[in-house]
Amino acid sequence: MTRGDDGAGEGASAASADGHGTEADYLARYRELQWPRPSVTVDLVVLTVLDADLKVLLIRRKEHPFQGAWALPGGFVRVGDAYDDRGESVEAAAHRELAEETGLPEGSAYLAQLHTFGAPDRDPRMRVISVAHYALLRPTLAPFVTAGTDAAEARWASLRADVDSGALPLAFDHAEMLAMAVRRVRDELDRTPVAFSLVPETFTVAELRGVHEAVVGETYDAGNFRRRFQRMVADGLIEEAPGKRVTGTKPAQVYRFSARGA
């Protein structure tokens, strides 16, 4: 049996190797440190749209490695130190880190798992596997984001002007994570309700079009988008909301996503 199997060979305790003892005995005696144990982290690609520009939340690292460099927020998944204390799930860690790194209550942003990054040399400290997630935040909440205690500062960086231009190189493999997250959101924009999380609770047609344009990086024809918008209204995904919003020379109708579309 090779190293890394289920432990019934070399890693099994002496008391259980010959079939004696209960499973509880086996687990209590099992020494998991005999086996390679990579650490696991969660990294977060937090996106919003501000001033018709797609922004990503970056933190300046306070400690080594990459001290002083910009990176995505995230942290280690908490693990227990006994067979009956396993720590937290990856999902719980992602929600916890998002709350800690933004200062916002849990549930403030749409959060979904993106991809697992496991290159052997992706972290210079040791073998670290990262389960990356992406989060979408309403622009009305973006000004309330504060840096976590393990970051020197936090900022909303422009994807186009700051990251894609190379002005803010990212630590670790975070540029790859960010690029993958943006591709995912762009892919889902027209077939899922992800745009719902990037506009205020009430919005105009122009504001929703601006979100689509910011995410995709292209200008939409206003007439074509309005026809698409009206189809979403007809399908019951969007409904009129009370009030008007002055966006130019005249007030514009505001809308909201219906319970069916949320």
Contact between 98 and 111 under an 8 Å Cβ cutoff? The reply is yes
Tell me: the pLDDT tens digits for 44-59? 999 999 999 999 999 9
Amino acid 8: pLDDT: 46
Domain residues for the domain of 232 are: 199-262
210 and 185 in a common domain: no
Nearest to 169 by CA among 69, 98, 242: 69
Angstrom distance (rounded) from CA 197 to CA 262: 9
165 and 83 in a common domain: yes
Active-site amino acid positions = 153
49 and 11 in a common domain: no
Angstrom distance (rounded) from CA 60 to CA 55: 16
19 and 47 in a common domain: no
Classify strands 39-50 and 128-136 as parallel, antiparallel or unpaired: parallel
| Domain end among 148, 168, 194 | 194
Tell me: the pLDDT tens digits for 3-40? 444 544 444 444 445 556 898 887 777 766 667 778 99
Q: Is the pLDDT of residue 262 over 70?
A: no
DSSP the chain: --TTS-SSSTTS-HHHHTS-S-HHHHHHH--GGGS---EEEEEEEEEEEETTEEEEEEEEE-SSSSTT-EE--EEEPP--SBTTB----HHHHHHHHHHHHH-PPTTSSEEEEEEEE--TTSSSSS-EEEEEEEEE--TTTGGG----TTEEEEEEEEIIIIIITSSSPBSTTHHHHHHHHHHHHHHHTTTSGGGGGGS-SSB-HHHHHHHHHHHHTSPPPHHHHHHHHHHHHHTTSEEEEEEEEE-SSSEEEEEEE-TTT-
Amino acid 171: pLDDT: 97
Specify the amino acid at residue 196.
F
247 and 236 in a common domain: yes
Domain count, the chain: 3
74 and 182 in a common domain: yes
- CATH number of the domain to which 212 belongs: 1.10.10.10
SS3 category, 134: strand
Q: Which two tokens stand for residue 247?
A: 């966006």
- CATH number of the domain to which 100 belongs: 3.90.79.10
pTM for the model stands at 0.86
